[in-house]
Amino acid sequence: MLQLDFHPTGRHFLQIPGPSPVPDRILRAISLPTIDHRGPEFGALGRDVLDKIKDVFQTRSPVIIYPASGTGAWEAALTNTLSPGDDVIMFETGHFAALWKAMADRLGLNAEVLSWEGKDEYLPNAPGWRHGVQADAIERRLRQDTARKIKAVCVVHNETSTGATSDIAAVRRAIDAAGHPALLMVDSISGLGSIDYRHDEWGVDVTISGSQKGLMLPPGMSFNALSPRAIEASKTAGFPRSFWAWGEILAMNADGYWPYTPNTNLLYGLSESLDMLRAEGLPNVFARHDRWAAAVRSAVVAWGLPILCADEQCYSSVLTGVIVPAGVDADALRRLIHERFDLSLGTGLGKVKGRVFRMGHLGDSNDLTLVAMVAGVEMGLRQTGVPLAGSGVEAIMAYLGSHAAPGYRQAAATPGAA
Amino acid sequence: MLQLDFHPTGRHFLQIPGPSPVPDRILRAISLPTIDHRGPEFGALGRDVLDKIKDVFQTRSPVIIYPASGTGAWEAALTNTLSPGDDVIMFETGHFAALWKAMADRLGLNAEVLSWEGKDEYLPNAPGWRHGVQADAIERRLRQDTARKIKAVCVVHNETSTGATSDIAAVRRAIDAAGHPALLMVDSISGLGSIDYRHDEWGVDVTISGSQKGLMLPPGMSFNALSPRAIEASKTAGFPRSFWAWGEILAMNADGYWPYTPNTNLLYGLSESLDMLRAEGLPNVFARHDRWAAAVRSAVVAWGLPILCADEQCYSSVLTGVIVPAGVDADALRRLIHERFDLSLGTGLGKVKGRVFRMGHLGDSNDLTLVAMVAGVEMGLRQTGVPLAGSGVEAIMAYLGSHAAPGYRQAAATPGAA
Amino acid sequence: MLQLDFHPTGRHFLQIPGPSPVPDRILRAISLPTIDHRGPEFGALGRDVLDKIKDVFQTRSPVIIYPASGTGAWEAALTNTLSPGDDVIMFETGHFAALWKAMADRLGLNAEVLSWEGKDEYLPNAPGWRHGVQADAIERRLRQDTARKIKAVCVVHNETSTGATSDIAAVRRAIDAAGHPALLMVDSISGLGSIDYRHDEWGVDVTISGSQKGLMLPPGMSFNALSPRAIEASKTAGFPRSFWAWGEILAMNADGYWPYTPNTNLLYGLSESLDMLRAEGLPNVFARHDRWAAAVRSAVVAWGLPILCADEQCYSSVLTGVIVPAGVDADALRRLIHERFDLSLGTGLGKVKGRVFRMGHLGDSNDLTLVAMVAGVEMGLRQTGVPLAGSGVEAIMAYLGSHAAPGYRQAAATPGAA
Amino acid sequence: MLQLDFHPTGRHFLQIPGPSPVPDRILRAISLPTIDHRGPEFGALGRDVLDKIKDVFQTRSPVIIYPASGTGAWEAALTNTLSPGDDVIMFETGHFAALWKAMADRLGLNAEVLSWEGKDEYLPNAPGWRHGVQADAIERRLRQDTARKIKAVCVVHNETSTGATSDIAAVRRAIDAAGHPALLMVDSISGLGSIDYRHDEWGVDVTISGSQKGLMLPPGMSFNALSPRAIEASKTAGFPRSFWAWGEILAMNADGYWPYTPNTNLLYGLSESLDMLRAEGLPNVFARHDRWAAAVRSAVVAWGLPILCADEQCYSSVLTGVIVPAGVDADALRRLIHERFDLSLGTGLGKVKGRVFRMGHLGDSNDLTLVAMVAGVEMGLRQTGVPLAGSGVEAIMAYLGSHAAPGYRQAAATPGAA
């Protein structure tokens, strides 16, 4: 019999960029008894979450909820709107963009990859992984496509593998400037619910997201937010599909149900999560993450280590990647930190394996948790013998001490004052 | 804010044939904090469940665990082993067999449907829905296929929509007797963990199952148990696929990990569930369900209402369908029972909508829960004005009172005696 | 390592008259992380429950919440208001009244016991245990006490050991009619929150109650509802006391705190419980229990077995005691029912040990649960060879089927209709 | 309706010296359904915890478990062994020793207070609160008591209000050296389960403890560990008592039951807690706390602030009190830290109110949690304008980084390596 609570003393510090720490309220909610997915109580639950979820995407269009992980929602976005052999443009901002591209290849799409084209002293093999999407490159490419063969532009909003947040509004402007009819598909799996994301305003056709990041849920649920054009495209898309097919889901969602068994208990958690985000207010949520991210970056700067994202305009408020000095094995460092300090950090994925580690600062966290994370990393760096320019812990403490948190949190933390 | 605990007083009686009532142990397990799906603790969890899950399928081959609902596992079975346009035989035993067939159509397979060919006085439009798979019909059809164009035979082990359990060993013998190389794919979504199922001994190539029935978990996780031939077939199968593709999953499972984010918290529940089934012992689990099913049927017989499954050899130990008299709306009856007695029953699906209701007797249940279910149904039948031949409650009480439960439960129920 | 979830399959039927089954909402609430009992969040929690708890007692006076079980609250009531050697009248309605009397003896009070004085064919050794408090006997006794030496009248509102509910308003009228200054102390441990109880209107000086009955919480918390006279009496009461002393508690409660560590997690549950009762409305709560009790009694009548409570005016809506035929060992019957049907019944306590069993019908229960209970008892009676006049299960089904539940429950059970 | 999860983002840092943070395993355990406290399952539970609890006290004598908070267990120790008017010696090491003394007064005991008699520059009004028990003073006093009128010596093992741990073995030696028959009663409410405590070896007659400290449970359960002499004394003790009386409890504990309703759900948690402590091993548990305490003190030393406990021999491994500079309001500091950093610290109690704050480092904690605590305190000190000699965070990081944790934790944290 496996002991499922693995950590013998105290709470584990789960500082990977998702799955993020799940609030106690949500863990309790998902442990309520499962109900009949065809009964009236479920219908009430279904209508509740299908309505509230739209706010987080900032959309008035339908949001599809899949009882599946985020990777499935990638596949759903592609197979519902496209046909085998279709041309699509994908922009490689990091490992997840690359994985999505690999999926497109496996599905038989003709995916063309754009990327940042400069050079990088630290990561000569992956210079583009230090930058966000270049909207002008997309515009140029679309203008060349006079035959309008390109059916979709696929970009990642917040690249979880690097910590670069791309300007989706700029991508929309680029497509419009080129007068191109391609659909715009955006992965905001790790951005949604933590940093500002506007499905409607930015004219996104399909937004892909998942439960285990800003929504602070366990993994196992994923999303496609649609646009009228995406729905229209789905009617003629040529991919064989059944589980992922939007049509039947949309039809049954009208009453709060799904064509096949939804994952009821995660929907309990989603309802709770959406109540929490609504109570805090999205602007407060975004400001909270922005402040945390600035604080964590101040620590990295104090250490004198390069932030993985090289473009300040694209710094992610969800996670911060750090490049370790040549000769240091970032994964050995992570293992040491895990074993000594019960702190999980994100690994370097794909092209940057062993060269970087990532610190998550999203969702159900707070100031001291982030100080603890920075302290754990700093102790690990020292034990590994990495020379540091200064104290990251001092830096983050100075930052947090001098920058008050956004309003809601303060108010909620002092019920006695109310 | 939605109040997620919908039932104001007392426990809801969830007597649908799945999702089944989830044991308290499992609900507590899935509420433990989510961990890093790439950390060492997760690897230990992954190896634990990947090992233990084989016992329930009675297989030594790998079992794929999807972070998705059961319908997805149907799609996975088809797309991993077949190619668009392939010929397959499917046997229509009820609504889920029909849904699987519809999926095959949507995916572009050439699915030929066999079914029981007799007549039925009660359900003239769906006579085959009162019977199990006819192995001899499959054998005949395969013998005709001298060109060996048929790539797979797809059958449902326990048809959840009707309560008929088919003889899978007989299907295997039929295929062998015909000397046909077709793969055998079996949906045991609602049979696994409740009634005897032997993936290896019966020579099944892909078994599809899900979390929310005999495994007593919330929905959101599904399975493909494989055979060496199925794995071989997957290497040349022509369907575009990515999320469902076995290869990468099998490779990463070796260390207890998955290529994309698994649903960690349901895996906690799975580990707990498998420990519970192992502690009770599969033979005890099966005997427990057999006894319950016989008891529930005795009530239906006492009422004088026809059991949906017309073939005693195929009576399901997981659920019992009941045909209501002509003129009675089975769904109105179910609604009344739900509103008056907080009892959820299974609806009549597809061709039998309004004509039947289904009583689940699986998983985390016990004698008195089933008596309560029968009582709730009986009160509902009376209030609806359905003439009853006798008392179903008396019948089930007589049955349960005179048939002792299998050994384990008794032993466990009397710790004081130990 | 002990496996804490003792029941291998399905939910245990906990049909004792308390601890009552705890609703899932409350179980989740008490599992939230413990907070600082001196911090501002706790103050908010403390003020919340201290305010809401008054409604359940129907009082505007303070209610003391002890981090202790109900027996402690008995002691608190006596030692806060009385002095060693004081004369008190106690009315023996059953085992708990007798236990309270024994406590008074141990504490050095001079407790005089009144009881119903008739004869009883079934329980010749305990005739008074089949009746409630006789207010006229109290009045007579108080009139004799011209010296006004009697300091308190102590009665049990709902005698948990027998199922007799006494008329507290009549006791108040009796004291007033005698013009006697004795304090009125009432144990409503098992009545509060299930049957009508009016601390202020009935002029009760101290009401004792506990968490594990109508409040549907686990045991571990108990109450003293006070009156101005009781508070006054506490200032001169002569018992040495510290833990139970009201004064310091009342002083600190003003801000929502306690002088020593309160049981934080049960207070979470209390807050949730009081929200649930408020949402349902006390009149609905009482009507719900009245209906259940009548239904259960109809089953006992059908069996032809005597109800322990011989006075219809005193039938308890919380539990029903049943006298088994001479020669039958009620505890052997209970054991058999527990082992065979996972159903816990209340034992015969003290003078009626072996002669009776008790069925609880309180708190978080519902119609089918009670039918299941009656069925389990009936199967046990049959297996024990007890001759039954008729079917109790048929009787309770007939009763419940023809008596609709009070309003709230129906409305809440049909969210789809709302 | 009160929102019970008060902390809007992230986990609260509960760094008071108890209630300590409750492990997730225990929170899940206490949320299992309540069972019949007179049924066979409960008997198994009762015997389990009554057996395992002895190990933590390091005793073979019985341990009484009260469904009440720790203050009640103080009262129980006194009233079970003594008579009104008895002489007892109590040693004032801090606020809790003073509270226990006040209780003795209220109960009518004749309590004489000893204390450290030196002078203190920082706390001239409470010099004794910076020291532990002086065994030699006790010996002197007992030698004077030639009439053997003193019935008991009452000391606090770990003074929660100050952070001084007294040498109980020395107290025993002092009593023995004086050849005095007084009982030795020890409050180890906050020491048990965190620092070495040996009821039998140290010849303690009654040890008082509680659930919410080293046992890592919510408050609501408390303990008296007995000795044969204490049990003997209880037979002639003159205090009126009922709820707290040992005799009946000991009799019923033989079978695993209690005379009145025990708090079942906390007993679930106790069983889980004792399993956790047993798995780790008490020596590992103690070493873990010792290391943490040394680490936290290194931070205080770095700040240049005086540790409340002035005697290095008595430094507590459970908590560290800190004296703030004159003119600083320690409670205003605590409030600021709570509001800004979601960190709860212990207040200065009684004579040291406003002059000190206390940092808990006990139970379910870990290295980074303590670093976070020190960081939160340091930021608060800076914002309050307290001049600091150096960085406490740097100091604790240096300490933890250079002192590896005891064995068990490391092993458990690396399941992948096993």
pLDDT in tens, B178-224: 999 999 999 999 999 999 999 999 999 999 999 999 999 999 999 99
Position C208 confidence tier, pLDDT thresholds 50, 70, 90: very high
Asked whether the beta carbons of residue A401 and residue D383 sit closer than 8 angstroms, the reply is yes
Mutate to test the interface with D, among A32, A337, A368 (most CBs of D within 10 A): A368
The whole-angstrom separation of Cα C406 and Cα D358 is: 53
Position B269 confidence tier, pLDDT thresholds 50, 70, 90: very high
Residue type, D142: L
Q: What is the DSSP letter of D377?
A: H
Contact B94, B355 (CB under 8 A): no
In tens, the pLDDT along B279-314 reads: 999 999 999 999 999 999 999 999 999 999 999 999
Asked whether the beta carbons of residue D379 and residue A397 sit closer than 8 angstroms, the reply is yes
Peptide bond into B19 cis (omega under 30): yes
Chain C CB contacts of B13 under 8 Å are: 368
Find, in chain D, the residue whose alpha carbon is nearest to that of C245.
D106
For residue A40, give the nearest of C28, C39, C416 by CB distance.
Answer: C416
Q: Which residues pair with C320 in a beta bridge?
A: C359
Position C5 confidence tier, pLDDT thresholds 50, 70, 90: confident
**3-state DSSP assignment of residue D187:** strand
Mutate to test the interface with D, among C261, C267, C319, C364 (most CBs of D within 10 A): C261
Work out the minimum CA distance from D58 to partner chain B, whole angstroms: 27
Q: What is the DSSP letter of D307?
A: B
Chains interfacing with D (3 or more CB pairs < 8 Å): A, B, C
For residue A366, give the nearest of D9, D363, D397 by CB distance.
Answer: D9
Chain B CB contacts of A338 under 8 Å are: 39-40
* Beta-carbon contacts below 8 Å between A and C: 35
Find, in chain A, the residue whose alpha carbon is nearest to that of B74.
A243
The whole-angstrom separation of Cα C50 and Cα C62 is: 8
Percentage with pLDDT > 90 across chain B: 94
**Phi, psi (rounded to 5 degrees) for A53:** -65, -30
Asked whether the beta carbons of residue D219 and residue C21 sit closer than 8 angstroms, the reply is no
Asked whether the beta carbons of residue D34 and residue C241 sit closer than 8 angstroms, the reply is no
Find, in chain B, the residue whose alpha carbon is nearest to that of A277.
B1
HSE, side-chain direction, 13 A CA sphere, residue D64 = 31
Q: What HEC string does D286-304 produce?
A: HHHHHHHHHHHHHHHHHHC
> CB under 8 Å to A118, separation ≥6 — which residues?
A127, A131
ipTM computed for the complex: 0.96
Polymer length of chain D: 418
Position B7 confidence tier, pLDDT thresholds 50, 70, 90: low
Position C1 confidence tier, pLDDT thresholds 50, 70, 90: confident
H/E segment holding residue D99: helix D95-107
Average pLDDT on C253-260 reads 97
Q: What is the DSSP letter of A188?
A: -
Contact C109, C88 (CB under 8 A): yes
Chain D CB contacts of C67 under 8 Å are: 68-69, 72, 219-220
Work out the minimum CA distance from A105 to partner chain C, whole angstroms: 45
Mutate to test the interface with B, among C284, C368, C403 (most CBs of B within 10 A): C368
CA distance readout (Å), D106 to A44, C240, D189: 57, 6, 21
pLDDT (0 to 100) of residue C7: 66
Work out the minimum CA distance from B114 to partner chain C, whole angstroms: 38
In tens, the pLDDT along A104-120 reads: 999 999 999 999 999 99
Q: What are B373's two structure tokens?
A: 């279910």
Task: Supply the mean pLDDT for chain A.
Answer: 95
pLDDT (0 to 100) of residue A170: 98
For residue D24, give the nearest of B32, B39, B414 by CB distance.
Answer: B32
Asked whether the beta carbons of residue C14 and residue D5 sit closer than 8 angstroms, the reply is no
Chain D CB contacts of C347 under 8 Å are: 38
The whole-angstrom separation of Cα A384 and Cα D401 is: 11
Chain C CB contacts of A31 under 8 Å are: 28
In tens, the pLDDT along A322-333 reads: 999 999 999 999
Chain A CB contacts of D400 under 8 Å are: 379
For residue C4, give the nearest of D36, D242, D271 by CB distance.
Answer: D271
The whole-angstrom separation of Cα D321 and Cα D306 is: 9
Mutate to test the interface with D, among A9, A25, A344 (most CBs of D within 10 A): A9
Task: Provide the pairing of β-strand D13-15 with D343-347.
Answer: parallel
> CB under 8 Å to A59, separation ≥6 — which residues?
A199, A200, A207, A225
Handedness of CA B82, B85, B87, B91 (dihedral sign): positive
* Nearest alpha-carbon partner for D160 in D116, D113, D96: D96
Q: Evaluate if residue A412 carries a pLDDT over 80.
A: no
Contact D239, C240 (CB under 8 A): yes
Number of helical (H) and strand (E) elements in chain D, helices listed first: 14, 13
The whole-angstrom separation of Cα B262 and Cα B271 is: 14
The whole-angstrom separation of Cα B154 and Cα C407 is: 50
The whole-angstrom separation of Cα D284 and Cα D286 is: 5
Task: Tell me where in chain B the CATH 3.40.640.10 domain(s) lie.
Answer: 24-280
For residue B220, give the nearest of A14, A27, A220 by CB distance.
Answer: A220
Q: Which residue has the tokens 């004394």?
A: D233
Chains interfacing with B (3 or more CB pairs < 8 Å): A, C, D
Sheet with A150-156: strands ordered across: A63-66, A222-226, A206-210, A183-187, A150-156, A87-91, A110-114
Find, in chain B, the residue whose alpha carbon is nearest to that of A11.
B33
For residue B31, give the nearest of D28, D41, D416 by CB distance.
Answer: D28
**3-state DSSP assignment of residue B403:** coil
Q: What is the CATH number of domain C24-280?
A: 3.40.640.10
The whole-angstrom separation of Cα B310 and Cα D195 is: 69
Render D28-80 in DSSP notation, one character per residue. HHHTSPP--TTSHHHHHHHHHHHHHHHHHHT-SS-EEEESB-HHHHHHHHHHH
Asked whether the beta carbons of residue A5 and residue D11 sit closer than 8 angstroms, the reply is no
**Phi, psi (rounded to 5 degrees) for D338:** -65, -45
Asked whether the beta carbons of residue B11 and residue C21 sit closer than 8 angstroms, the reply is yes
Percentage with pLDDT > 90 across chain A: 94
CA distance readout (Å), A233 to A132, D70, D202: 28, 68, 81
pLDDT by position in tens, chain D (length 418): 788 887 678 999 999 999 999 999 999 999 999 999 999 999 999 999 999 999 999 999 999 999 999 999 999 999 999 999 999 999 999 999 999 999 999 999 999 999 999 999 999 999 999 999 999 999 999 999 999 999 999 999 999 999 999 999 999 999 999 999 999 999 999 999 999 999 999 999 999 999 999 999 999 999 999 999 999 999 999 999 999 999 999 999 999 999 999 999 999 999 999 999 999 999 999 999 999 999 999 999 999 999 999 999 999 999 999 999 999 999 999 999 999 999 999 999 999 999 999 999 999 999 999 999 999 999 999 999 999 999 999 999 999 999 988 765 445 544 443 3
Work out the minimum CA distance from B254 to partner chain D, whole angstroms: 13
For residue C31, give the nearest of A28, A33, A40 by CB distance.
Answer: A28
CA distance readout (Å), D132 to B323, D57, D89, D315, D378: 80, 21, 15, 9, 28
In tens, the pLDDT along C63-97 reads: 999 999 999 999 999 999 999 999 999 999 999 99
Q: What are C100's two structure tokens?
A: 């309270």
For residue B24, give the nearest of D24, D33, D415 by CB distance.
Answer: D33
Q: Evaluate if residue C409 carries a pLDDT over 80.
A: no
The count of other CB atoms within 10 Å of the CB of residue D389 is 10
The whole-angstrom separation of Cα C298 and Cα C309 is: 14
Q: What are B8's two structure tokens?
A: 């104001």
Contact residues, chain A to chain C, C-beta under 8 Å: 24, 28-29, 31-33, 39-41, 43-44, 414-418
The whole-angstrom separation of Cα D290 and Cα D277 is: 16
Residue type, B19: P
The radius of gyration of chain A's CA atoms, rounded to the nearest angstrom, is: 21
Find, in chain B, the residue whose alpha carbon is nearest to that of A31.
B27
Mutate to test the interface with B, among D28, D34, D38 (most CBs of B within 10 A): D28
The count of other CB atoms within 10 Å of the CB of residue A179 is 9
Position C418 confidence tier, pLDDT thresholds 50, 70, 90: very low
The whole-angstrom separation of Cα C70 and Cα C117 is: 29
Asked whether the beta carbons of residue C415 and residue A41 sit closer than 8 angstroms, the reply is yes
Task: Supply the mean pLDDT for chain B.
Answer: 95
The whole-angstrom separation of Cα A158 and Cα A214 is: 12
Q: What are A1's two structure tokens?
A: 């019999």
pLDDT (0 to 100) of residue A165: 98
pLDDT (0 to 100) of residue C407: 62
Task: Tell me where in chain D the CATH 3.90.1150.10 domain(s) lie.
Answer: 13-20+281-402
Q: Which fold has domain D13-20+281-402?
A: Aspartate Aminotransferase, domain 1 (3.90.1150)
Work out the minimum CA distance from B42 to partner chain C, whole angstroms: 23
pLDDT (0 to 100) of residue D5: 80
Q: Evaluate if residue C405 carries a pLDDT over 60.
A: yes
Pick from A311-315, B318-322, B409-413: least confident: B409-413
Q: What are A251's two structure tokens?
A: 């039809």
HSE, side-chain direction, 13 A CA sphere, residue B91 = 34
Asked whether the beta carbons of residue A68 and residue B70 sit closer than 8 angstroms, the reply is no
Chains interfacing with C (3 or more CB pairs < 8 Å): A, B, D
Q: Evaluate if residue C417 carries a pLDDT over 50.
A: no
Chain D CB contacts of A339 under 8 Å are: 410, 413-414
Q: Which residue has the tokens 């004579």?
A: D351
The whole-angstrom separation of Cα C274 and Cα C54 is: 10
CA distance readout (Å), B242 to A224, B114, C256: 17, 31, 58
Chain C CB contacts of A43 under 8 Å are: 415-416
**Phi, psi (rounded to 5 degrees) for B318:** -105, -35
**3-state DSSP assignment of residue A307:** strand
HSE, side-chain direction, 13 A CA sphere, residue A166 = 33
Q: Between the CA atoms of C184, C187, C193 and C199, what dihedral angle is there, to the nearest 10 degrees? A: 10
